[in-house]
Amino acid sequence: MSDGPAATGSGPLTGRALVPGAAEGAVLYSSEPLSFWGGYDAETGEIIDRRHPLAGRIGTGRIMAIPATRGSSTTTAILLEAIRRGTAPAAFLTRGPDTFLALAAIVAAELYGRAPPVVALSPSDFDALRTTPHARVEATGVVMPI
């Protein structure tokens, strides 16, 4: 990791907006991938995988920073239901592209007219989120730690 602004969390992080959109909120960070199938309760927004570091935390309205999803395409179905119910995270920040998150957001935009932004970051920019308590995601893929 570099000693520049991104490493300290003081400057913007630039990623690739897989699903553009804007969001702001508390950052829920984990270095471990998450399976939404059996790992996320679409009714409550709680992370229910008891082996995951974020177990018991609520993802609703948060900027969820996970390196990737784990498991099958059922992740897309669970996330789509959470978006429909209003219990999904406000945005997703990943370490590289994640097709399951992007697919769920794209389908939600078509079905419900709303979707959380999905931004793929470089590994070093993703790791800089470890100490970022709050962030703003811009439609261009810029993530501003605040």
- 35 DSSP β-pair partners: none
Based on the residue annotation, tell me whether 73 is a catalytic residue of this protein: no
pLDDT computed for residue 5 by the predictor? 40
Kindly report the CATH class assigned to 5-145: alpha beta
Q: How far apart are CA 11 and CA 14, in angstroms?
A: 10
Domain boundaries, the chain: 5-145
Average pLDDT over every residue of 41-67: 98
pLDDT band at 10 (very low <50, low <70, confident <90, very high): low
Instruction: Select which of 31, 72, 73, 124 is catalytic.
Output: 72
Average pLDDT over every residue of 70-90: 93
pLDDT band at 73 (very low <50, low <70, confident <90, very high): confident
Tokens of 76: 């897309």
Give 13-40 pLDDT, tens digit per residue: 999 999 999 999 999 999 999 999 999 9
pLDDT computed for residue 9 by the predictor? 47
Give 98-133 pLDDT, tens digit per residue: 999 999 999 999 999 999 999 999 999 999 999 999
The percent of residues in the chain predicted with pLDDT above 90, rounded, is: 89
Give Rg (Cα) of the chain.
Answer: 14
- C-beta of residue 67 within 8 angstroms of C-beta of residue 32: yes
